[in-house]
Structure 1
Amino acid sequence: MLLENNYYRIIDRHSDGMSAVYRIAFLPGCDVYRGHFPGRPVCPGVCNIGMIKECAMMLTGKRLWISTIKQCRLTAVATPAVCPEVDVAVSVSPTDGGFTVTATITDTEKTYMEYKGDMIV
């Protein structure tokens, strides 16, 4: 399942060749939040990784699969109530058969995730 328009929607995008910043709005009515956690919804790390992957696919124009996660640091808890909008900054560099992807999820006050890994086509 693609998370775009289910878990989040893109409000804005600025790209510069092999990097882009996507302004994302979390969709608090998403079923994910009913199970994670009812009454106190939290953005699951796995969904944020999926969101980074989808942003990398939009940037490259290719269908990608995560092959290796080299670093995934959750540095703060994101919630649709506290941070309804975030920036997903994604940079890609070509490798044999795919891309190395570096990304952060931030708002004006916090960094929520730092990510680096390889994705294959």
Structure 2
Amino acid sequence: MIKYLDKMLLENKYYQIKEMKMNQQEGIFRLRLLPDCDIYRGHFPDNPVCPGVCHIETIKECAMRLTGKKLSIVSIKQCRFLAMAAPSICPEVNVTVGVCPVEEGFRVTARISEEAKVYVEFKGLMRV
């Protein structure tokens, strides 16, 4: 296993990967949100919701798994939060990530969704 994958911030704390389907430029990750995570106790204890920053970090971690490289976000061209996600509403989500190598790193597009509902759409640039 690649060394940096052991240092993921959210994997196995905020979410667990149930299933992965990947090829060179696209990955679909089925994630289970972990409602006992400390993040939910602070965001909001009586009605926990997924923080936007955690959605973005989850997308980055899935892109890292897809590329096999440690990535940092250089810029975000678009990040739309279309619906509120919470472990009680959607205990499992799909994260679809597409990567395209460019001179500066990888152009990344991603979506967090379940069935017909889209929670987040992301477009940005990540660098090794």
TM-score, scaled relative to structure 2:
0.92
Distance 1:73 1:34 in 2: 24
Stretches of 4+ aligned residues off by more than 3 angstroms: none
What is the identity percentage for the equivalent residue pairs of Structure 1 and Structure 2?
A: 56
Aligned equivalents of 2:23, 2:72: Cα separation in 1: 23
Is the aligned partner of 1:89 residue 2:96? yes
Q: Which amino acid aligns with 1:45?
A: G
What does residue 106 of structure 1 align with? 113
Alignment of 1:3-42 (within 5 A): 3-42=10-49
Question: CA offsets, 1:38-93, max 9 Å, x none?
Answer: 11000001001000000000000000000000000000000000100000000000
Over aligned residues, Cα RMSD in angstroms? 0.8
Deviation at 1:16, TM superposition (A): 2.3
1:76 counterpart = 2:83: yes
Q: Residue 4 of structure 2 aligns with which residue?
A: none
Gaps of 5+ in 1: none
- Using the TM superposition, give the Cα deviation of residue 109 of structure 1 relative to its aligned residue in structure 2, in angstroms: 3.0
Give the Cα separation in 2 of the matches to 1:47 and 1:10: 15
| Distance in 1 (alpha carbons) for counterparts of 2:59 and 2:97 | 7
Please give the alpha-carbon distance, in whole angstroms, between the structure 1 residues aligned to 2:104 and 2:9: 22
TM-score, normalised to structure 1's length?
Answer: 0.97
- 1:97, 1:30 → 2: CA distance? 35
Q: Counterparts of 1:37 and 1:97 in 2: how far apart (Å)?
A: 37
Is 2:118 aligned against 1:116? no
SS in 2 for 1:117: strand
Residue in structure 1 matched with residue 5 of structure 2 by the alignment:
none
Code of the residue aligned with 1:38 in structure 2: it is P
